[in-house]
């Protein structure tokens, strides 16, 4: 594209990319060149994301988003530093408009952390509202599940009471004979 449509780069034999590191550009090319298709990993994802956004390389950006989603789905949430990692990735997802990643992170935050832990991080009002809405929906679903379970147990208890009454009646009849 740079070599067509009137771009000044079309008249030069070398393209200068100010502020870009040579090795990062090589890595970017390795990740999109069909014969190589180097995988996204922890080392290259962080610097490839801004490049893929700047140069509108949608397929690479999607691959990076998928990579981040796979990493947060495999995180153990027993340690506090994972909360920081999630919020760092959340900032990236918002900055680069990675909507699936953002939604996935919000799911993880509402599944594994509580409101007190969210308060340790400076969140925008919109994000805090979104997290609270998700959290409230999940709590409502849990409540409905527990209500259904309680109703099932009440039904079972009632059936058992009737069975006890039936057996008592039968026992009385048998004793009278």
Q: Contact at 8 Å (CB) between 51 and 74?
A: no
In a domain, 159, yes or no: no
What are the tens digits of pLDDT across the range 64-73?
999 999 999 8
Evaluate if pTM is beyond 0.85.
Answer: no
| 134, 106 Cβ separation under 8 angstroms | yes
CA distance 104 to 7: 39
**pLDDT recorded at residue 65:** 98
Q: Is residue 57 part of a domain?
A: yes
> Is 144 a domain residue?
no
Can you give the length of the chain in residues?
177
| Residue 41 lies inside a defined structural domain of this protein | yes
Structural domain range at position 53: 1-75+95-106
The mean pLDDT value for 17-40 works out to 90
Structural domains in the chain (count): 1
As a whole number, mean pLDDT of residues 81-93 equals: 87
**Does a structural domain hold residue 154?**
no
| Residue 1 predicted with pLDDT over 50 | no
Answer yes or no: is 2 within a domain: yes
Q: Rounded mean pLDDT of 78-106?
A: 87
| Residue 112 within a domain | no
Residue 145, domain member (yes or no): no
């Amino acid at each position: 594209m740079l070599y067509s449509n009137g771009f000044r780069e079309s008249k030069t034999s070398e393209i200068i990319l100010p502020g870009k590191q040579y090795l990062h550009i090589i890595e970017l090319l390795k990740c999109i060149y069909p014969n190589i298709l180097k995988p996204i990993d922890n080392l290259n994802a962080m610097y490839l994301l801004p490049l893929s956004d700047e140069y509108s390389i949608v397929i690479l950006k999607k691959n990076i988003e998928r990579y981040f989603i796979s990493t947060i789905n495999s995180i153990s949430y027993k340690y506090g530093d994972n909360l920081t990692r999630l919020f760092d990735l959340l900032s990236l997802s918002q900055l680069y408009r990675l909507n699936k990643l953002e939604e996935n992170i919000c799911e993880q935050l509402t599944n594994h952390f509580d409101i007190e832990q969210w308060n340790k991080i400076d969140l925008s009002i919109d994000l805090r509202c979104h997290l609270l809405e998700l959290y409230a929906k999940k709590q409502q679903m849990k409540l409905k599940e527990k209500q259904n379970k309680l109703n099932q147990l009440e039904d079972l208890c009632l059936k058992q009471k009737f069975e006890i009454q039936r057996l008592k009646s039968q026992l009385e009849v048998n004793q009278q004979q």
